[in-house]
């Protein structure tokens, strides 16, 4: 009886809501899985001392000064950001894909559609959730000193953020809405190609898998791993620029201010060399492989659990509903006249 009730409830959920739920769950699980590596990546990108001592020494330093929870500093804001971000990202991808198929049927269902839909959905999700990413980065940037529990690298002690709400409040008071969107330009520059390439490679990899193995979890994980690896490689320097812009006001040395995306890019190259644009890339590989793999896999599993119809069937249903709505509207207008 319970199973039947559950089935009725699931069937009553609108398609877009199912995609939102599946995407949000996938994003939250994937992000928590790689939270320690995400913290280290941000420190590698923004702090020279961590970049110089290497990966293992950085692990030991955080473990010694901050303990196990130190690896998850900023993860609350990260999950708070990634759940709505991933929900919007996956749902918007499906919606954009259906709209492209409906309005431009000649494009078919090939990889170009995945590239375009993935890029547009990534940009949409970033614009809606960027302030949470900014807060997450600022919280992760803080490094506690064990004896004094001071925040190192902050301009003033009162800029130590006590949590998500405190970081939001102080950032908004200091620079308003523009402060909450600082660094959004390189985020958009990076997310358009990254999100597009991620979906492109994932769907392309799955298309090469024999039908007998398409539902295999290991196969999905492998396809997601390759997609994340390739997508990150092409767009990583823009991620470094974005992080530097986000933590600029927290850095102790503010003698030279960065002037936007291009200015920050040249400043990094001039002061630290072009290799800094790829600082933390090895960690990012370790992070991107399980993160994207887990994300895509959990999303597909959640879609199956929520009984989301195959894309072709869903596209037909949406197109049918649109035609019915147009016919109904036309009939109503004719009756009124």
Q: Are the CB atoms for 204 and 197 separated by under 8 Å?
A: no
Report pLDDT digits (tens) over 144-198: 554 444 544 544 444 567 778 888 888 888 888 888 898 888 788 878 888 999 9
Gyration radius (Cα) of the chain, Å: 22
Q: What is the pLDDT of residue 24?
A: 96
- Among residues 235, 220, 199, 243, the alpha carbon closest in space to that of 290 is found at 220
The first and second tokens of residue 87, run together, are: 């929900």
Q: What span, in angstroms and rounded, lies between the C-alpha atoms of 308 and 305? A: 8
Q: What is the pLDDT of residue 146?
A: 45
Q: What is the pLDDT of residue 144?
A: 58
Domains of the chain: 13-316 (1.50.40.10)
The first and second tokens of residue 110, run together, are: 């090939």
3-state secondary structure of 172: helix
The first and second tokens of residue 202, run together, are: 């994932």
Average pLDDT, the chain: 80
Task: Identify any residues that bridge with 144 across adjacent strands, giving them in sequence order.
Answer: 151
Task: Report pTM.
Answer: 0.72
What are the φ/ψ torsions at residue 143 (nearest 5 degrees)? -120, 120
Q: What span, in angstroms and rounded, lies between the C-alpha atoms of 171 and 134? A: 9
Q: Are the CB atoms for 43 and 138 separated by under 8 Å?
A: no
Report pLDDT digits (tens) over 66-89: 888 888 887 777 788 789 999 999
């Amino acid at each position: 009886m319970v199973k039947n009730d559950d089935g009725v409830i699931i069937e009553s959920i609108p398609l877009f809501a199912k995609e939102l739920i599946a995407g949000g769950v996938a994003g939250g699980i994937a992000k928590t899985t790689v939270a320690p590596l995400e913290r280290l990546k941000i420190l590698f990108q923004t702090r020279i001392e961590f970049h110089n001592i290497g990966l293992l020494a950085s692990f030991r330093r955080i473990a010694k000064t901050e303990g196990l929870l130190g690896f998850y500093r900023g993860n609350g804001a990260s999950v708070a950001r990634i759940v709505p971000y991933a929900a919007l990202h996956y749902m918007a991808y499906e919606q954009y894909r259906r709209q492209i198929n409906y309005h431009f049927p000649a494009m078919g269902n090939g990889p170009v559609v995945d590239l375009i839909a993935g890029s547009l959905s990534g940009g949409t999700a970033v614009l809606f959730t960027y302030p949470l990413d900014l807060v997450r980065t600022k919280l992760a940037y803080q490094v506690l000193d064990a004896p004094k529990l001071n925040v190192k690298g902050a301009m003033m002690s009162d800029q130590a953020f006590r949590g998500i709400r405190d970081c939001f409040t102080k950032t908004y008071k200091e620079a308003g809405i523009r402060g909450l969107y600082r660094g959004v330009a390189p985020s958009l520059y990076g997310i358009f190609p990254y999100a597009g390439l991620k979906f492109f490679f994932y769907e392309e990899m799955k298309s090469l898998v024999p039908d007998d193995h398409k539902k295999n979890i290991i196969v999905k994980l492998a396809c997601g791993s390759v997609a994340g690896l390739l997508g990150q490689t092409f767009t990583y320097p823009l991620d470094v620029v974005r992080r530097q812009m986000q933590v600029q006001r927290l850095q102790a040395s503010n003698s030279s201010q960065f002037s936007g995306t291009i200015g920050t890019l040249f400043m990094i190259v001039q002061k630290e060399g072009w290799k800094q644009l790829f600082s933390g890339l090895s960690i990012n590989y370790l992070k991107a492989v399980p993160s994207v793999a887990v994300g895509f896999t959990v999303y597909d599993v959640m879609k199956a659990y929520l009984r989301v119809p195959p894309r072709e069937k869903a596209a037909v249903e949406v197109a049918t509903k649109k035609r019915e709505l147009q016919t109904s509207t036309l009939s109503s207008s004719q009756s009124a006249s």
